[in-house]
Amino acid sequence: MGKIKGRAALVFGTPESSLGEPRIVLMRDAVYIENHRGIERYDTGCIAVACALGTVRISGDGLEIARYRRDDMAVTGGIRSVELVNAT
């Protein structure tokens, strides 16, 4: 698997480590996450999203999932913090 990822990274010119790993874009009142593995926990004050590196925990007020797809999701609301926990 590692070889395949390495070849793919070589072909597409992307860093090897970025394949399959989450990409998180933080904006003023939204967080965009790519390559997630699903919601672990959701309430209006905290959303935990499973990723390859661990769990991304988004804290804030009135959090809402504006878009939820297999590969990406967008969380909107008053975002206070975004942290990566259980990192391996």
- 9 or 76, CB closer to another protein? 76
Residue 31 · residue 48 · CB < 8 Å: no
Looking only at residues 7 through 66 of this chain, which bind another protein when binding is defined by CB under 8 A?
Answer: 38-44, 63-66
CA atoms of 73 and 24, how far apart (whole Å): 10
- Binding-site size for another protein (CB under 8 A) equals 15
Q: Which residue has the tokens 């996450």?
A: 33
- 9 or 24, CB closer to another protein? 24
Contact footprint for another protein (CB under 8 A): 38-44, 63-70
